[in-house]
Amino acid sequence: MTNSPRVGVVGAGSLGFHHIRILRDLPGIEFSGFVESRADRRAEVEKELKVKSHAALEGLLEASDAIVIVVPTSSHFSVATAAIERGRHVFIEKPITKTLEEADSLLELARKKGVMVQIGHIERFNRAVRAALPHVKSPRFIDSERLAPFSPRGSDVAVVLDLMIHDIDLLLTLVGSDARDISAVGVPVITPMLDIANARVTFNSGAVANITSSRISREKKRKIRIFQQSGYLSLDLGAGTGEFFRLRSDIDPLSLRSAPADILAFVDRIKLDAPDGEPLKLELESFVAALRGKGEVVVTGEEGRMALGVALRIVKEIERTLPSLVGHTHRHA
């Protein structure tokens, strides 16, 4: 790989637009253009961002060393396969693919061709998450809530693969252990797919997580609370802020049994902080650093596959309990 790899984007929808915007000005690369199947959208993005486009994927692959894939989930496998077959490194927006069979095939091909795969689990780059990670030690219980107003983007898959998978990846990262047992409920409301879902996940470490995701909310909400022996962390992912309520070392827990006490009397309240930065820009910078051999892949294809595996187990559990309410049956490995 050269010191200035050529990087392009497949897909110029609402999210693809921002990938193009950032990569266009990112130092250390040559932006090789983008591909968009809708002619009107292609012309609009070309004009607004003043970047070049290609009429077809083949043209972009010819002009690129790596590509960023920002197309509907159902097309991830076909686009990534075409790129990897040509020896191009790939960044794939989450989820890695629609099925585990596709993910396994893709990762095997990447190993064969010797190319790099990074998955776009952007919450790893959230300021609150970056600030919290140094304080997370053997979590025992995690409560996660992600609510969003309805958007057609991502509605081709269940909310578990659209929104909840962000939190699944975070849970796997925070706990550092595989999921063991899963119970889940959910229903479709606006689409034939699941639009709201709740899952309880028990990990091999003994940690338990409660996850709720909805894409039919009137408000946006992205919050996580992490409970561990030393205290608990409260993160607002939407605001990028967080606090750590840490048990004071000079407090005897037994003394708290004698009378009611305000929590601030026996904990230190620590404001969590990390350097500011647009998460998507930080994510793409990490991809470029890995391309140039100056950093590790932050979210590997294997990690993306692991998050997908848990997500599909959740969907399967919901379909098992409420099969008549789900308008689409997924195939699972």
Q: Map residue 307 onto helix, strand or coil.
A: helix
Specify the pLDDT at position 41: 96
Q: Could you give the angle at which helices 14-25 and 279-291 cross, rounded to 10 degrees?
A: 60
pLDDT bracket for residue 153 (50, 70, 90)? confident
User: Is the per-residue pLDDT at 327 higher than 60?
Assistant: no
pLDDT bracket for residue 325 (50, 70, 90)? low
CA distance 247 to 286: 35
- pLDDT tens readout for residues 81-113: 999 999 999 999 999 999 999 999 999 999 999
Counting residues of the chain whose pLDDT is more than 70, the rounded percentage is 91
User: Is the per-residue pLDDT at 263 higher than 70?
Assistant: no
pTM here is: 0.90
Specify the pLDDT at position 320: 87
Specify the pLDDT at position 260: 57
CA 305, 306, 310, 315: dihedral to nearest 10 degrees?
A: 0
308's tokens:
């997908």
Q: Which of 85, 79, 67 is nearest to 29 (CA)?
A: 67
Q: Three-class SS string for 113-138?
A: HCCCEEEECHHHHCHHHHHHHHHCCC
- pLDDT tens readout for residues 71-89: 999 999 999 999 999 999 9
* Average pLDDT rounded to a whole number, residues 200-207: 97
List CB contacts of 281: < 8 A, sequence separation 6 or more: 22, 26
